[in-house]
Structure 1
Amino acid sequence: MRLRVGMARRFELGGQVYDPGDELDVPEAVAVNLIRAGLVVALDGLPGALYAPQTPQASPASPVPSQAPTEPSADEEGSPPCGVCEPATPKRGKALAVCPTAGCPCLVVSGRCPGCTRAASQRRGTARQRGYDARWERTRSAFLKDHPYCECPECLEVPEPLRPAAQVVDHMDGLGPLGPRGHDWTNLRAMTKQHHDQHTARTQPGGWNDRES
């Protein structure tokens, strides 16, 4: 679908930044979100999906009772990407981007859209289901007591007394406590939370995997 970027609008799509007046061709699902966000105008008629009824949102005065999280079904791993979130509100001076989940057209300021984030969280299960239980807490506490300073590659170049104190324990194989070396100290390293978050952002898809540590 052919679109033109509106005046005083700027956004990023597929790694390319579009400025006011630029024209682009996108699938209808992406076009709908761009139009709803007020970023573009359609050059060949409005897409029919714009007229589809929107899912009503719960009113603050009538909250929907919370429900206990359910176990992910067997076919959730192959469920389609979201594509139904309302477009995010752009921040001043920052372009919107498309959700990094393959095939999802939702517009976000950064990271994944809320729908894809919820789906990924359901697939991963709870922290306890992923092995971050009482046994891991004992392993973690003992390891941090014996390794009080950050052991990330950058900090290892600094004398130990000058390193920041560690708060989390990282699995070097990336498999967590349920991996074959989940409690093997040779597979663990102490890190500050900041350095661990930076490491996760570099090594996990989209930086979204907030593993317990």
Structure 2
Amino acid sequence: MPVRAPRICGCGHRIASGEHCPCERKRKAAYELRRVSSRERGYDSKWDKERAAFLKLNPRCARPGCGAPASVVDHIVPHKGDQRLFWSRSNWQPLCTTCHSRWKQAREKRAAKPSWES
């Protein structure tokens, strides 16, 4: 099976395919320390009630072929603080924890990928 060549991180470290640079871990940890809490981002008791009602109406994961019990209400289009988009039920989808984690991780990897690696 072919393996990608190592890459050079912006800090100068040589990073093997599929690995993360130590500077990236530090950068992510620093970001998490500065990030506001979920309650401050709008996920409060009102959200908890709306989420529960939505999952009651949509009990199964929306990912094709999954069908597992949904436990997460995902915003299809990231709201990034836009309250109208945050509360728009047409922007919500029910997902199981596994699908949400995989899908979110894949989306973040695509967003972080440099254009020359497409």
Larger % of helix: which? 2
2:43 — aligned with what? 132
CA deviation vs aligned residue, 1:13-66 (integer Å, no higher than 9, x gap) = xx6239xxxxxxx79x536xx7xxxxxxxxxxxxxxxxxxxxxxxxxxxxxxxx
Counterpart of 1:16 (choices 5, 28, 33) is: 5
Aligned partner of 2:19: which letter? A
Identity %: 22
CA-atom RMSD in angstroms: 3.3
Residue 30 of structure 1: aligned partner = 12
Whether the 8 Å CA contact 2:59–2:94 is kept in 1: the answer is yes
User: Could you state the TM-score of these two structures normalised by the residue count of structure 1?
Assistant: 0.42
Superposition deviation, residue 138 in structure 1: 0.9
TM-score, normalised relative to structure 2: 0.70
Runs of 4+ in 1 over 6 A off after TM superposition: none
Name the counterpart of 1:198: 102
Partner of 2:76: 172
CA distance 1:199–1:98, shift in 2 (3 Å): closer
Letter in 2 for 1:141: A
Larger Rg: 1
Does structure 1 residue 97 correspond to structure 2 residue 8? no
Paired residues of 1:166 and 1:190 also in contact (CA < 8 A): yes
Inter-partner Cα distance in structure 2 for 1:120 and 1:144: 31
Match of 2:37, SS? Answer: coil
Of 112, 122, 135, which aligns to 2:33? 122
- How many pairs does the alignment contain? 107
Q: Distance in 2 between matches of 1:149 and 1:30?
A: 46
